[in-house]
Amino acid sequence: MTHSDDHGFGGGPLGAHGECWNLLPWIANESAAAKDVARVEAHLHDCRECQQELEFQRELRNAIRAEDAVVLAPQTSLQKLMQRIDTVEDIDAEPEVSPASVVAMPRRKPSLGSRWLPIAAAVQGIAIIGLLAAMWMQTPDTLTAPRYVTRSASDKAIAHRPVIRVVFTGNASLDDMNRVLHSVDAQIIAGPSEAGVYTIGAARFADESRVDQALAQLRADGHVRFAEPADEYEAP
C-alpha cells in the first residue's frame, strides 16, 4: 500500500486521514502533544488502515529499542574529559590568555588535581632550553635560519584565524615539537605558558574542517598531551 498521493507528499493538501497518518510515529513513541493524541484517537476509531499502521510503527519502535548496542564503560571516558577540563582551566587562570578565545563560561577555580602542570611545564622548559643551548653550541647559524623562525614567530596572516592550544608530553623533544608543528603546517603564536601551553595557528585554519583535521592529527600524536581549539563555539 502507498500513501504518497493520499498524504499530500505528491503536492495535494493533507486531509484528516493524511495528517493523522503522519502523526502516528509520535503517537507510537508517546511524545505527541495531547491535542494531537486526541485527534488521532478519534480518527483511529473508524480507520482500520491507520490502526494497522500504528501497530506497525509500535512494532518498529519495540524492535529498534530492543537492539542493545555495545556500550562503553563511562568512567574512563569521564576521566579523560575531566583531565581536559583541568588543563583548560589552568589555561584560563593565566593572565596572558589569548584574546582569540570566545569561550563564555563562569570563572572556575583551577582544580587541585592539576597542580602538577606547572612543574611538568618547568621540567619541559628546562629540557627545551638545554636542547636549544646544545644546538646553539653546535650549529649557531641554524638558530637564525628561516625554518626555525617560521615555526615560532607570529604571523600577521594567521593573527585572526582560529588557533589551537597544545600541551606537549613531558618527554617531547624540540625535534618532536617541530615535527608535530610541521605535520599540521602550524606555527607557534604564543607560549609556552606557565602551564606548558603553546598557542599555535596556521593560515589554513580559516577553514573549519582543516582545524578539525589538525586537531585529530594532534590528538593522535603520542607527543601531544592536549589539543583544543581556542575559539570553539556551540550555539545553545
Partner 1 sequence: MNSVPSSGYSPGTSGGSQANARELELLRQVATGDRVAFKELYLIYHRRLARFLMRMTSRHDLIEEVINDTLWTVWLKAGDFRGDSLVSTWIVGITYRRALKALRRHGAATRPMLVDEAAAVAPDVQAEDENRQWLGQALAELPLEQRMVMEFSYLMGHSCEEIAQIMQCPVNTVKTRMFHAREKLRRSLPRLAGANK
Residue 143 or 216 with smaller CB distance to partner 1: 216
CA distance 69 to 103: 34
Residue 177 or 227 with smaller CB distance to partner 1: 227
The single residue among 7, 161, 165, 225 that binds partner 1, judged by CB under 8 A, is: 7
> If we measure between CA atoms, which residue out of 174, 216, 234 comes closest to residue 198?
174
For the segment 193-212, give every residue that binds partner 1 (CB under 8 A).
209, 212
The single-letter code of the amino acid at 21 is: W
CA distance 127 to 119: 12
Contact between 103 and partner 1 per CB under 8 A: yes
Q: Which residues pair with 230 in a beta bridge?
A: none
Contact between 13 and partner 1 per CB under 8 A: no
Specify whether the CB–CB gap between 231 and 215 falls below 8 A: no
Residue 56: CB minimum distance to partner 1, A: 5
Stretch that binds partner 1, among 99-107, 136-144, 155-163, 177-185 (CB under 8 A): 99-107
Residue 77 or 150 with smaller CB distance to partner 1: 77
The single residue among 13, 46, 69, 99 that binds partner 1, judged by CB under 8 A, is: 69
> If we measure between CA atoms, which residue out of 159, 154, 192 comes closest to residue 174?
192
CA distance 221 to 112: 27
Specify whether the CB–CB gap between 230 and 187 falls below 8 A: no
Residue 233: CB minimum distance to partner 1, A: 8
C-alpha cell of residue 213 = 583535521
Which residues bind to partner 1, rule: CB under 8 A? 1-4, 7, 9, 22-23, 25-26, 28-33, 52, 55-57, 59-61, 63-72, 74, 77-78, 80-82, 84-85, 103-109, 111, 209, 212-213, 216, 232, 234, 236
